[in-house]
């Protein structure tokens, strides 16, 4: 069964808000029914997010991963814990820099953006060619390395 790791910030929950994205809510519902869904956040403690999720009837995920470090380093550290559980996973990400780091580390990654987010980053968004190169590197890795299946 497929596993998915959904980043809470920017995919499910509107950053610095109590609100949620309808698209993220729908993704959560679909993924929770069809795969092992894990949530990941650097902003919210397990207790805080549990209350927020419960209010929205989002309780079908398998686990919650918290990393105190924002950005690519924190995401990769948390994802390494998931990899230690011997599951391959699709990462559903809202941050292009984190998505690129995840691709470089060999994770299948879906980048989700919202028209309502507006400019989120003070830095320039990485060129599409960088993301395309990362996808190509990941494909080459899959062809050369044996895959473990749970």
Which of 18-22, 76-80, 103-107, 115-119 is predicted least confidently? 115-119
Residue 119, pLDDT > 60, answer no
29-43: average pLDDT: 92
pLDDT value for 139: 75
Name 117's Cβ contacts closer than 8 Å, sequence gap at least 6: 10, 94
Per-residue model confidence as pLDDT tens digits over 65-76: 999 888 999 999
pLDDT value for 121: 42
Q: Which band of pLDDT confidence, cut at 50, 70 and 90, is reported for residue 3?
A: confident
Q: Say which CATH architecture domain 3-144 belongs to.
A: 3-Layer(aba) Sandwich (3.40)
98-117: average pLDDT: 86
3 DSSP β-pair partners:
36, 89
- Give residue limits of the domains in the chain: 3-144
Which pTM was predicted? 0.74
Q: Which band of pLDDT confidence, cut at 50, 70 and 90, is reported for residue 26?
A: very high
Please name the residue that has the structure tokens 């993220």. 24
Which of 1-5, 40-44, 68-72, 119-123 is predicted least confidently? 119-123
Asked if 28 and 4 count as a contact pair (C-beta separation under 8 A), the reply is no
Asked if 132 and 114 count as a contact pair (C-beta separation under 8 A), the reply is no
């Amino acid at each position: 069964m497929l596993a998915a790791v959904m980043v809470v910030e920017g995919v499910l929950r509107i950053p610095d808000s109590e609100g949620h994205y309808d698209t993220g809510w729908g993704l959560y519902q679909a993924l929770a029914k069809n795969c092992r869904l894990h949530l990941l956040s650097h902003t919210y403690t397990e207790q805080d997010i549990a209350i927020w999720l419960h209010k929205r009837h989002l309780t079908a995920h398998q686990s919650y991963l918290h990393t105190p470090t924002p950005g690519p380093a924190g995401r990769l550290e948390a994802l390494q814990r998931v990899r230690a559980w011997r599951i391959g996973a699709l990462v559903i990400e809202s941050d292009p820099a984190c998505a690129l780091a995840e691709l470089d580390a060999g994770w299948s990654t879906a980048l989700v953006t919202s028209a309502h987010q507006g400019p989120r980053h003070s830095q320039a968004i990485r060129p599409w060619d960088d993301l395309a190169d990362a996808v190509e590197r990941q494909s080459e890795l899959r062809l050369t390395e044996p895959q473990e299946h749970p």
